[in-house]
Chain A
């Protein structure tokens, strides 16, 4: 039985000026038509850390994530501010293509292009004007190594990406994002379609990647959040209820609803 929790009492942490932030949102609201899907989300994301967004399905965590790089533009109305390097990127005059190059995204289901592994990585890069074959080749290797896929595919770069296993495909999607040299990486339940072994590989990759990138990951797997994230935000029915360091979130949750969720009462 789902209790009616008050949305009045929330516990959202803020950061002092010594923490470098990669991006933050102020009072972000999302509407799908008349459906108010996200209420007043104000979160800040420290640079070079993994932040996990957790919550039950329908809690608005994916909606929030997809709004961060304006992937919700065509299907939803997003209000509020999204600060990125001092620019509010939730403005119509912002170049959304440039935003998405800097804030990459990996989706729930692996969605490699129906092209070769190499093409998957360099296609978008070439579209931005990079033509030099040497540069492209190097970028292929760097990105695949970044996503811990290089050793598995270095001899079959010209094979179709669709022939890879699910876990490999997902790491290819990560590599594909890395190739654009983003500084923020958004991941929308990247392991939900993967088997446990592939999941471990992706998690290891992410832990390695946080040295160079800021990672925001949506997951409904609390163990995963506990294993890899430094900060953790808990979403409930379109509200951010709690945002704390991960250790705090799972040991001493600040409010009742978080306590109930992390202890497995619902979700």
Chain B
């Protein structure tokens, strides 16, 4: 494995200038130590650690907004007959005669989806942890281009401002669903949200895509080019592998969303007919002919499906890392973990049409996509098996991060199983657009990715802020959330099988559904309690930044490189030379070793008692 270990050890890299890698003639003034002004230090920072915190805190802001919106529509779904007059000071004209405006209900659902998928679980999750962990775990001073990294955040910020402002405009925010299918999203006559709200949505997403691409190319370049000495690809922590592949998925799929968004903009504002044809609205025929709304779905889901892996893969990587650290065991099947990530990445591009089984596609084509979709169960099962095998007979330490990681595995299994149901075209036609689908993806991708996010925050908080988060509050947060999530989404499967369609404002008009009114109320109560519980986390987070217990350099006795940096972060990450790497990142509880972990920086010559036969050659 490490046969090509460089002969030169400590100090080899650090001997060069901090920031290394640059052609001296091309960039002579970068990374020289100089006094930073307030703006360049706290606002337009190019330090990856600071940018990561900017992403995280913006992500938390968005998560609160997204959660609030969901509580609002859960109120409507749980108590369709109750008066909402008390929300009038907050929602204004969207409360009409004590009732929530039905079009605004659709806007709430749309914005909840958009915010959670893109702003929280894409930007907030990989924006935070790719930025924070890639340079620290591979042993780099910073990202390949700090400037582009800074731009990436500020494009995200601009995108956030546009999206947030769309919540307050007179015609309301976008209301055609987070998938913005035309013709609904293209015609302001159809729904008021498709007016200015949809325009702002598209502008915001265009900025968001630019942000993602600037960030993504940076992550890939950094992982490929800036690894420290000895850090071969087969010694990378699984976190880095997952961020790396996530960035590749984004690089290949976000441009396609951009293409689709541009065509939709042309249809909406310039009078083209890419997605519109033969439409009668309010008794009037539209002039558009020749468009195909199905074409939009193809383009959208070519992004949309990789997007769900963009959301889940960083969480998978972090969970792998946290499980191994806290089970005090090497991750089970390191190479299989990488292989399954590669498999998932590859498959994610050739399964998009399973979102479109009901579009009247050729059944043969449907069965091809069904077959490919079901194959994803294989790498997913490999990962699940390996996580469980890592826990098996481990010396488990139940830190908060560990609980959330185990919770992640649980949710991933629970949600993944229903994926097998939905992947089958014949079953999907029955389940399509019901709450069964909603329950499925909220478990397997929404909640799981959130659990990965929380696990990551609890685990790397000491490195981010130099303090520990409170464990007791963490436990309360975990149990409330874990139980809450199951109480919300398990009954939702049942409601879905009963035939409840998504995106319906109320079902009071259907007698069939009246017997499920209590169940919907139950889901709403659970959802609102679970949401309110998140403020425990938010309190813990901000309180611990200032008042938390001081962290030590390596509080979890972990092996990876970020824990060799000082508690007080420095510009360039390591005050002296960047340490060289000698071994893989999972030497936990190695038989014969003095301690139950051996950091990656320890050469084999210092661990003769624990070296395996093939490692003796490298002493």
Asked if A pairs with B, the answer is no
Residues of B bordering A, CB below 8 Å: none
Residues of A bordering B, CB below 8 Å: none
